Amino acid sequence: MAQQNDQFKKVIAHCKEYGFVFQSSEIYDGLSAAYDYGPYGVELKNNIKQYWWKSMVQMHENIVGIDAAIFMHPKTWKASGHVDAFNDPLIDNKDSKKRYRADQLIEGYVEKLEAKIKKEVTKAKKRFGDSFDEEKYMLESPRVLKYKEQIEDIMARFTKAMGDGDMAELKAIIVDLDIADPDTGSRNWTDVRQFNLMFSTQLGNIAGEEGKLYLRPETAQGIFVNFLNVQKSTRQKIPFGIAQIGKAFRNEIVARQFIFRMREFEQMEMQFFVRPGEEMKWYKYWKEARLKWHKALGTPEEKLRFHDHDNLAHYANAAVDIEFEFPFGFKELEGIHSRTDFDLSSHQELSGKKLQYFDAELNKNYVPYVVETSIGCDRMFLAVLSNALQEETVPDAKGKESTRTVLKLHPAIAPVKCAVLPLLKNKEELTTKARAVFDTLKYSFNCQYDEKDAIGRRYRRQDAIGTPYCVTIDFDTLEDDTVTIRERDSLKQIRVPVSEVEAIVREGVDMKSLF
């Protein structure tokens, strides 16, 4: 755990030092759960978005994109269920004045029991050595069985209470389990109550409730209300999808894990409209397709897993998360939800406008069912960065061992694709040639020209921001028009004619390799 926290601290410090992510309004001591993306951060985030957009929209003939407004008619959120049901159970500690999510306190308690089981297994493994049979031990060890039974009891009570919206029962669980404020140890709790996560604001020209607007808590509704506009204007036939990337806002009760949980964040969502009854087929399809998308970036298989929802949202008949092993444990990165016809039917009912599709093959009208894939862009950024940030021992220029910090990002999403470096800063013939090389490459890729400091330090700087290629211009370049290309991961250096650099970099960073 301590090691995990160390890695998380390193990720946060790296983000700040190298211009990936800054705390919002830092000079005023920051605004909690709001972050700004710096010069390399914005490039990386844009590349992640481009990878998603290409694979979801441009690579599918039957998926199209939109960019809907953040503000929507307030009835949207009534129909979607967000006004009545987009709540988290809130509990305050009367002594520390800190606020918590009651569900997270209970889940935290269960996680501790799970950790105890793991510890028992590790101890037993040591004790029994090669003859250890983990499966048998899990079925027979009295301690493990006791913990498992406790977990099952708690989860049964908890799932029911969440399903029933029974706040008194959630409080009772916290009291029965003797759960204390994680920061202060106090058990002096208020009752649990529902807290709506939507931010509201006011239209300028209408006073009171009538003019109340919400900042969208998900991008999906902009897609649903445009369903017929898009279908008719693009003449799509079911099954087809509508995708969107955009900001969403949630007044999270607890938001403490850097860009994992923010109050303003960005989502990449796709709603896939299908025939009623065919939703489970497409749910399976998108589960696999989305996992493949993550793996293509080089994310190790053991850091990704599916987690089926115990508590289904008000709109879903099946839901699964793709979880990633962040430095603070496995957490949701993306959700895949079978949303039934809940949203379109509710909008149809409240607006009084038909939101139906005429299926010529079946010769009938129906409200389509929907399978959604929804991923947080910021969470994806954090996943990618925490997986890529590594420290390695490598030989330095003189062959001695030294440590380097390197971001092993997939080249296709690296913020800078290629750095152009004159060997020496004060030799005009080198800098002039290097500038000329830079000028030919800048049209094709995000490149960087850097002449400050010794060449070894410049390589290290590029490693730290994940640049896959460094092109060095030296005195031989002036003689034979060749340069050295250094590859970030293998550290291999090859000598090539200047005229070949663009093709080599292009091949290495092409997004095609991801599909």
Q: What is the largest CA-CA distance in the chain?
A: 81
Judged by beta carbon, residue 334 or residue 451, the one nearer ligand ATP is 334
250: contact with ligand ATP by CB under 6 A: yes
Which DSSP category does 368 fall into? Answer: P
335: contact with ligand ATP by CB under 6 A: yes
Residues touching ligand ATP, count (CB under 6 A) = 16
**Spatial separation of the C-alpha atoms in residues 449 and 442, rounded to whole Å:** 10
The contacts of residue 214 (CB under 8 Å, 6+ apart) are 72, 74, 77, 82, 198, 199, 200, 201
Strands 240-249 and 193-196: unpaired
Judged by beta carbon, residue 292 or residue 314, the one nearer ligand ATP is 314
Whether the Cβ atoms of residue 505 and residue 288 lie closer than 8 Å to each other: no
Q: Give me the 252-271 binding string for ligand ATP, x by CB under 6 A, dash otherwise.
A: x--------xx--x-x----
**Spatial separation of the C-alpha atoms in residues 326 and 383, rounded to whole Å:** 6
332: contact with ligand ATP by CB under 6 A: yes
Q: Tokens in use for 317?
A: 């008949």
Judged by beta carbon, residue 267 or residue 299, the one nearer ligand ATP is 267
| b/e 269-291 (16+ beta carbons within 10 angstroms → b) | bbbbbbbeeebeebbeebbeebb
20: contact with ligand ATP by CB under 6 A: no
**What 3-state class would DSSP assign to 95?**
coil
379: contact with ligand ATP by CB under 6 A: yes
Cβ 326 to ligand ATP, closest distance in Å?
Answer: 11
**Spatial separation of the C-alpha atoms in residues 298 and 340, rounded to whole Å:** 33
Considering only residues 180 to 219 of the shown chain, the ones binding ligand ATP according to CB under 6 A are 218
Identified binder of ligand ATP from the candidate list 68, 90, 375, 385, rule CB under 6 A: 375
Cβ 251 to ligand ATP, closest distance in Å?
Answer: 9
Scanning 37-45, 331-339, 393-401, 449-457 for contacts with ligand ATP by CB under 6 A, the matching segment is 331-339
**Spatial separation of the C-alpha atoms in residues 336 and 375, rounded to whole Å:** 9
Nearest one of 224, 107, 220, 236 to 173, comparing CA atoms? 107
Judged by beta carbon, residue 166 or residue 252, the one nearer ligand ATP is 252
Cβ 54 to ligand ATP, closest distance in Å?
Answer: 19
Cβ 308 to ligand ATP, closest distance in Å?
Answer: 13
Identified binder of ligand ATP from the candidate list 368, 376, 411, 508, rule CB under 6 A: 376
Cβ 327 to ligand ATP, closest distance in Å?
Answer: 16
Q: Which helix (H) or strand (E) holds 430?
A: helix 428-441
**Spatial separation of the C-alpha atoms in residues 467 and 464, rounded to whole Å:** 8
- The amino acid at 68: A
Q: Give me the 53-92 binding string for ligand ATP, x by CB under 6 A, dash otherwise.
A: ----------------------------------------
Neighbours of 73 (CB within 10 A): 14
Scanning 156-164, 272-280, 372-380, 387-395 for contacts with ligand ATP by CB under 6 A, the matching segment is 372-380
Judged by beta carbon, residue 238 or residue 262, the one nearer ligand ATP is 262
The residues binding ligand ATP (CB under 6 A) are 218, 250, 252, 261-262, 265, 267, 332-335, 374-376, 378-379
